[in-house]
Amino acid sequence: MIGLDIAFWILAVVGVIAALAVVLLGDVFRAALSLVLCFLTVAGIYITLSADFLAAVQILIYVGAISVLIILAIMLTRDVQRGSPSNRLRLPAFLVAILFFGGVAYALLNTTWQVSSTPPLEPTTPAIARLLFSEGGFILPVEIAPILLLAAIIGAIVLVREK
């Protein structure tokens, strides 16, 4: 299990550094690229937790699609080469972030985590499919998801048609 530990620590350190780079880099495009790196390390952590389907989804949606959306949005923005200027909300945002971090850390440290002794399922995809699409499963949330996507498509149409 020491190999998994090494993999986890490499992924965790690279992920935290990439996340810090997203916040601290002045160049917005470089920040977007380090966000991609952060998503990739999260996918790697999913693999170490033997959640293979979730890792593939993370790479497909976040690394593939969401980052393309963010980079496109950067390419559409005016005066983006000036970078992200500092503003007056810097200190309140820092305080809110510290409060949020404190709350999350408190909740994480004070929860008794139950560790299952059974070995993880090897191919997780059929089990997820049975949970999502079978009778008595989570069929209602699955059918609500395309309505969200429909709203996104219609919103994009309205955005493009606006003169």
Partner 1 sequence: MLADYGYIGLLLVVAIFFAVTTLLLPFFLSFPSRLVIYFRRFTQYLETHYPFLVRFIPPLPKFPRFMQVVPYNPNPVKSSTFECGMETIGTAWVRFNFRYYFYALVFIALDVLVVFLYPWAVELRGLGLFGLIAALVFIFIIVIGYIYAWRKKVLEWK
What number of other Cβ atoms are within 10 A of residue 7's Cβ?
Answer: 14
Total residues at interface with partner 1 (CB under 8 A):
50
Q: Which stretch binds partner 1 (CB under 8 A): 18-26, 57-65, 86-94, 112-120?
A: 57-65
Q: Which stretch binds partner 1 (CB under 8 A): 85-93, 98-106, 108-116, 140-148?
A: 140-148
CA distance 95 to 101: 10
- For 126-158, b/e burial (b = at least 16 CB within 10 A) is eebeeeeeeeeeeeeeeeeeeeeeeeeeeeeee
Nearest distance, CB of residue 101 and partner 1, angstroms: 29
Element (H, E) at 146: helix 139-161
21 or 56: CB nearest partner 1: 56
**Window 76 to 135, contacts with partner 1 (CB under 8 A):** 76-78, 80-81, 125-126, 128-130, 132-135
| Listed residue (71, 72, 22, 69) closest to 42, CA to CA | 22
**Which residues of this protein are in contact with partner 1, per CB under 8 A?**
3-4, 7, 10, 44, 47-48, 53, 57, 60-61, 64-66, 68-69, 72-73, 75-78, 80-81, 125-126, 128-130, 132-135, 139, 142-143, 145-147, 149-150, 152-157, 159-161
